[in-house]
Structure 1
Amino acid sequence: MEETIAGTEAVQIPTQRGESLLETAVRYAEDRHWDVFSGTWLEAVDGVQRCSCGDTACAAPGAHPARDDWATQASGSATVVRRMWSTRPTASILLPTGRTFDALSVAESAGFLALARMERMELDLGPVTSTPDGRMYFFVLPGAGAKVPELVRGLGWAPGSLDLAALGEGGYVAAPPTRVGSRGAVQWACRPTLANRWLPDVEELISALAYACGRDR
């Protein structure tokens, strides 16, 4: 079952307890129309969880692309998705950015501060993930990467002075319940719901995110 951070979005798309990675990936494709692709996976080696890539110093064990042509493999077809996980049932679930959504990446501390501010401002949010390495990803409409630098300047910050980045074409995010080595699993801070099917534009969230990143420096 997907993990959700306690105290966050309560309205949930129904899921089945014990749902497999394959079933979850299919739901992302069918319910959200997201392209998905299978990444690396974790393997037990001498009692230690290692990444299937074989690199003992892997920065994201079990949660990165398994092949260089991953962008061409990503698909929103349930049939194709089932084929991916039928051969690699424990593979991570990865979502390419720059297609149906971009993702704004901030430190987790700034992300939760921004979420609280957005709630007070009654902003409409899309899905938001929280990763074991302390990052949060806010899903927004595609095209955010080209807009962020100028938007940050307009708010009085120099581009690059804030820990705020946009992932667009050529990027990807790991989706719940993907596990990252021994650090834990990716979780939903705000999970996909029927209410947030329509994503916000980056302009709607940038002020709260920039403010939070500035406070978090």
Structure 2
Amino acid sequence: MEEPAAAPEAARIPQQRGEQLLDCAVRYAEERHWDVLPGTWLEAVDGAERCSCADGGCPQPGAHPARPDWASQATGSATAARRMWARQPRASILLPTGRTFDAIDVPESAGFLALARMERMDVALGPVTCTPDRRMMFLVLPGGAPKVPDLVRRLGWSPAGLDLLTRGEGGYVAAPPTRVGGHGAVQWVRRPTQANRWLPDAEELISPLAYACARDARPAG
């Protein structure tokens, strides 16, 4: 059951499944003022799903930019988004990072551990996605990605020793309900709502995220 305060906007934000990519892309631009970018899509070839880029070994089938000048193609206009997805309704929804947000990228197991810790600490969160390849993306204020390595060092860990990545200027994340070939769809773990419109700074999340990544890495070590 939705919280009363979040219901008006939560009703408009895309659900996990069942909505057209066009509608979702328009809503991200219109309601969150996020730049959106149409990416590649999945095509049925000989009974299997293949990326529209035609690369048989594509590492991100159906979920990467379709052209080299993708950064200049991204738009925050809902009208332009509607026009682009009307031309290719199957195109994935990509959100450029380094503009209205950056993203901290961690393994799913560490991400859920960190979420539980953040809830106990009453840490304010922004939207969070979970990808089919078991990664979680925590959206933070733009400019956060470059600060993360130094923040991790201050906490006593080596950035190279943690499976904690960042996506900032020049990067992107795939948005729900984009499907990644053969694996499933990107989903919201924490959906965009009025309550999380103001994003946290990377510094506010890095301690529980780094701790969770370090703990997650111990069995492998």
Both structures adopt the same fold (TM-score exceeding 0.5): yes
Contact 2:145–2:202 (8 Å) recurs in 1? no
Q: Which runs of 5+ in 1 are unaligned?
A: 1-6
Amino acid at match of 2:11: P
Task: Say yes or no: does 1:72 pair with 2:72.
Answer: yes
Q: Which runs of 5+ in 2 are unaligned?
A: none
SS in 1 for 2:133: coil
The TM-score with structure 2 as length reference comes to: 0.92
Q: Offset at 1:159?
A: 2.1
The match for 1:14 among 3, 11, 16 is 11
Contact 2:104–2:165 (8 Å) recurs in 1? yes
Structure 2 equivalent of residue 193 of structure 1: 193
Structure 1 equivalent of residue 106 of structure 2: 106
CA deviations on 1:88-110 (whole Å, 9 max, x unpaired) are 10100000000000000001110
CA deviations on 1:161-181 (whole Å, 9 max, x unpaired) are 111111000000000000001
Structure 2 equivalent of residue 3 of structure 1: none
Distance in 2 separating the partners of 1:165 and 1:183? 21
Distance in 1 separating the partners of 2:164 and 2:52? 30
Amino acid at match of 2:139: F
SS in 2 for 1:43: strand
Structure 2 equivalent of residue 50 of structure 1: 50
Structure 1 equivalent of residue 61 of structure 2: 61
Amino acid at match of 1:24: C
% same residue: 71
Structure 2 equivalent of residue 90 of structure 1: 90
Distance in 2 separating the partners of 1:24 and 1:142? 22
Structure 1 equivalent of residue 177 of structure 2: 177
Distance in 1 separating the partners of 2:24 and 2:159? 37
Tell me which stretches of 4 or more aligned residues in structure 1 moved more than 6 Å: none
Aligned residues: 211
Once superposed, what is the RMSD of the aligned Cα atoms? 1.8
Structure 2 equivalent of residue 118 of structure 1: 118
Structure 1 equivalent of residue 81 of structure 2: 81
The TM-score with structure 1 as length reference comes to: 0.93
Distance in 1 separating the partners of 2:95 and 2:189? 17
Distance in 1 separating the partners of 2:56 and 2:28? 31
